[in-house]
Amino acid sequence: MQKEHFHKNEETHRKLREILKDSSIMLMVMIWATIFAFMVDKASINNGNIFSIYMLAIIFIAFRTEKYIFSVMSSIITVLLINYFFTAPYSAFDFTLKGYPISFLTLFIIAILASVITAKFKKQVNLTLESQRKEKEALEEKQEVIVESEKEKMRGNLLRAISHDLRTPLTAILGSASVIRDSENISEETIKELADGIYNDSNWLIRMVENLLYVTRISGEGKKLKKAEEVVEEIVGEAVGRVKHKYPEADIKIKIPDELLIVPMDSMLIEQVLINLIENSLKYAEDNSRVWVDVWENDGKVYFKVSDRGKGIPESMMKNLFNMGKANQDTRNSRGMGIGLCLCKSIINSHGGNIEAENNEYGGASFTFWLNIEE
C-alpha cells in the first residue's frame, strides 16, 4: 500500500515538473518574441512582420512543450499582445473598431490552426520515433535470441566433442592400467611402454581441460578481455618456449620483423592460440617435425602464420574446421583438435580479428590470424 502511494506521489511530482517546465518555456518565448516584435515595430511599419514573429514563437512552443494546451494558450496570448501593443489605440484592448473583430478572429484562427498542425506534426514525429525505437528493441531481442541459440548450439557441439574426444584416451588409460594390474608375466619394457601411454594420454587430457576452461572464459556472458599493450616478439617467444619445453626435439623456425610491434591483446589468450596452433602443426608434421612461425605487419594489422609440411587438411574438413565438434568427425582428426581450433577462433574473434586455414602448395597446412594494431 505504501509502495503504491509512493509511486502515485512520484507520478504527481513528475507531472507538476513537466507543467512548470512547459509553462516556463511558453512564458520565456512569448517575452522574447514581444521584445523582438517591439524592435521590429520601431524599424518597420509592416505589422505582418510582427505577426510572423509570434507565429514562429507559437511553432517553437508547440515543438518544445509536451501538452497541446500550451500551444493553444500561446495563440490566445498572441492575439491579445498584438491587440494591446501593436494596434491603435496602443496599450489598450479595443475590439470595437471597424474590421478589428474579423481581423483578430482571423488571426486567432490562423494561430490556433498553426499550433494544432504543429502539435499534430510533433505527435506524428514522436509516433515515428517510438515506432523506430520499438523496431530497434525487437531487432535487438531477435539478435539476443540468435546469439543465445548459437550459444546453445555451441554447448551441444561442446558436449559431443567432449564425449568423442575423451572416450579414446580414457579407454586407452583404462586398458593399459588393467594390463599392468591383471597381467602376471609382463616385462619391464612392456610396463614402461604402457606407462608412457598412460602418461601421454593423461597429459593430453590435462591440455584438453585447459582448453575447455579457456573456451568457457571466452564464451561466458559479460566477460571482458583484459587487454594491454604487448610486444609481439615477447608473446611469440613465450609461446614457442612453452612448446619446446614440452617437445624438446621440435624444430620451430621464427621470422619476426626487426621493428618493434606492439598490439593490444590479452597476452595469455594469444599465447594459448599460438601454442595450440604450433602443437597442432607438430602433430601433423610427420617425420619432418619442423614448424614455421611467421609474423608481419600490413595495413594496420599484425599477422601471425603457423605452417607445417605435413599431409594437409582434407577439403571436406575445411568448412567446419573451426566449429567445435564437427571438425572431429574427419579422418585427419587429432583428439581435441575441434575444441582447440574452436578455442583459437573464439579468442581471435573476441579480439576483433580473424583466423583462416589453408593447404600449402608444397604440402602441409598453414593457419593465419591477424590482430588490429589499434583498437
Taking the CB of residue 39, how many other CB atoms lie within 10 A of it? 11
> What pLDDT is stored for residue 295 in this prediction?
96
> In 297-333, which positions are buried (b, 16+ CB within 10 angstroms) versus exposed (e)?
eeeebbebbbbbbbebbeeebbebbbbbbbbbebebe
Are 129 and 234 found together in one domain?
no
Residues 125 and 259 in one domain: no
Domain boundary among 94, 113, 139: 139
Residue 364 lies in a domain: yes
CA separation, residue 239 to residues 49, 268, 277 (Å) = 78, 9, 10
In this structure, the answer to whether residues 132 and 243 fall within a common structural domain is no
pLDDT of residue 284: 76
Residue 206: inside a domain = no
Whether residue 201 lies inside any domain: the answer is no
CA–CA distance, 71 with 118 (Å, rounded to integer): 9
Report how far residue 11's alpha carbon sits from residue 242's, in angstroms, rounded to the nearest whole number.
Answer: 64
State which of 82, 106, 139 marks the end of a domain.
Answer: 139
Q: Residue 208: inside a domain, yes or no?
A: no
Scored b (16 or more CB within 10 A) or e, 230-269 reads: bebbebbebbbebbeeebeebebeeeeeeeebebbbbbeb
Distances (CA, A) of 180 to 163, 172, 188, 200, 229: 26, 12, 10, 16, 51
pTM given for the model = 0.52
Per-residue pLDDT at 223: 52
Domain termination residue (choose one: 139, 158, 176): 139
- Mark whether 99 and 232 lie in a shared domain: no
Q: What is the CATH number of the domain that holds 272?
A: 3.30.565.10
Q: Which residue has the cell 502539435?
A: 119
Answer yes or no: is 24 within a domain.
yes
Residue 5: other Cβ atoms inside 10 A:
9
Does residue 27 lie in a domain region? yes
Alpha helix (H) ranges present in the chain?
A: 2-43, 47-64, 68-85, 100-182, 188-219, 232-246, 267-284, 315-318, 337-350
Residue entry with cell 543465445:
148
Q: Round to whole Å and give the CA distance between 209 and 348.
A: 20
Burial of 46 (0-12, 13-18, 19+ CB in 10 A): exposed
The residue type of 342 is: C
Residue 199 lies in a domain: no
Question: Cell 520565456 appears where?
Answer: 28
The number of domains in the chain is 2
73 grid coordinates: 494558450
Q: Which residues pair with 297 in a beta bridge?
A: 302
- Using DSSP bridges, classify how beta strands 228-231 and 251-255 pair: parallel, antiparallel or unpaired: unpaired
Please state, as a whole number, how many other Cβ atoms lie within 10 Å of the Cβ of residue 194.
Answer: 20
User: What DSSP line would sit under 249-271, residue for residue?
Assistant: T-EEEEE--SS--EEEE-HHHHH
pLDDT tens, residue order, the chain (375 aa)? 555 555 567 777 788 888 888 888 888 988 888 888 888 877 765 666 787 888 788 778 877 777 667 777 777 787 778 777 877 677 777 666 555 566 666 666 766 777 677 777 777 888 888 889 899 998 888 888 887 776 676 666 666 666 666 777 788 888 888 888 888 788 888 888 888 888 878 877 777 777 667 666 665 544 566 788 999 999 999 999 988 887 888 889 999 999 999 999 988 889 888 988 998 888 777 665 689 999 999 999 999 999 988 888 888 888 778 775 554 444 344 444 556 787 788 888 888 899 999 998 888 889 999 999 987
Shared domain check, 115 and 249 = no
* Cβ-count burial 131-170 (b if 16+ within 10 Å, e if not): eeeeeeeeeeeeeeeeeeeeeeebeebbebbbebbbeebe
The domain containing residue 77 runs over which residues? 2-139
Residue written as cell 575441434?
338
Asked if the structure places residue 270 within a domain, the reply is: yes
Are the beta carbons of 36 and 45 closer than 8 angstroms? no
Cα angle: 187, vertex 192, 196; to 5 degrees: 150
